[in-house]
């Protein structure tokens, strides 16, 4: 295990609107407000055609090839995530969302494009005084947290 400490900074109350792409809007806000690190909770509706990563196609393959799932119909969602800058200073959101419709739920990473249906509400808790960042792991093919 590796870790670092942080202190609580600003708190942002966010309403995402119909058609917004979740990770794009959160990362854009982080860049505009110079948020280097954060924890985020979110809930609302995901639109038909939204995409989530549900795991690796083959867990032994390197780099990892993700399985992408496309939501059929509008789904209720709840998610949690973290945001840290990457090695280039760009905000990088890592968020997982549970997306449910009728009697079925899928959970996965939103990095391939979850589109808001009507509205989503998020609370972003800025984390200060940390050197944590994300860096691209060439072997795995995705960004890892370096606390």
2 lies in some domain: no
Helix (H, G, I), strand (E, B) or coil at 18: coil
90 lies in some domain: yes
Confidence check: pLDDT of 142 > 90: no
What value does the mean pLDDT take over residues 98-127?
98
1 lies in some domain: no
Instruction: Give DSSP secondary structure letters for 32-84.
Output: HTT--EEEEEEEEEE-TT-EEEEEESSTT-SS--EEEEE--S-EEEEEEEEEE
22 lies in some domain: yes
Cα-based distances in Å from 98 to 5, 108, 109, 120, 145: 28, 7, 9, 13, 22
110 lies in some domain: yes
Average pLDDT, the chain: 96
What value does the mean pLDDT take over residues 139-143?
88
- CA end-to-end span of the chain, whole Å? 10
Q: Are 121 and 14 in contact (CB under 8 A)?
A: yes
Confidence check: pLDDT of 2 > 90: yes
Confidence check: pLDDT of 95 > 90: yes
Question: Which pLDDT value is given to residue 141?
Answer: 86
107 lies in some domain: yes
Please tell me whether the peptide bond between 63 and the residue prior to it is cis, using omega within 30 degrees of 0. yes
Tally of structural domains, the chain: 1
Query: Distance between CA 136 and CA 94 in Å, rounded?
Result: 13
CATH number at residue 129: 3.30.1330.80
Domain range for residue 53? Answer: 8-146
DSSP code of residue 114: P
Question: Structure pTM?
Answer: 0.95
3 lies in some domain: no
């Amino acid at each position: 295990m590796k870790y670092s400490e942080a202190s609580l900074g600003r708190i942002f109350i966010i309403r995402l609107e119909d058609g917004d792409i979740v990770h794009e809007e959160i990362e854009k806000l982080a860049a505009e407000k110079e948020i280097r690190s954060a924890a985020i909770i979110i809930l609302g509706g995901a639109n038909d055609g939204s995409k989530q990563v549900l795991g690796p196609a083959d867990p032994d393959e390197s780099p990892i090839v993700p399985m992408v799932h496309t939501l059929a119909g509008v789904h209720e969602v709840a998610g949690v995530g973290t945001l840290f800058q990457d090695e280039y200073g760009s905000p990088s959101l890592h968020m997982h969302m549970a997306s449910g419709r009728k009697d079925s739920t899928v959970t996965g990473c939103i990095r391939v494009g979850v589109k808001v249906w009507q509205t989503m509400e998020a609370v972003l808790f800025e984390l200060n005084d940390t050197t944590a960042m994300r860096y691209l792991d060439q072997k795995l093919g995705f960004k890892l947290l370096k606390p």
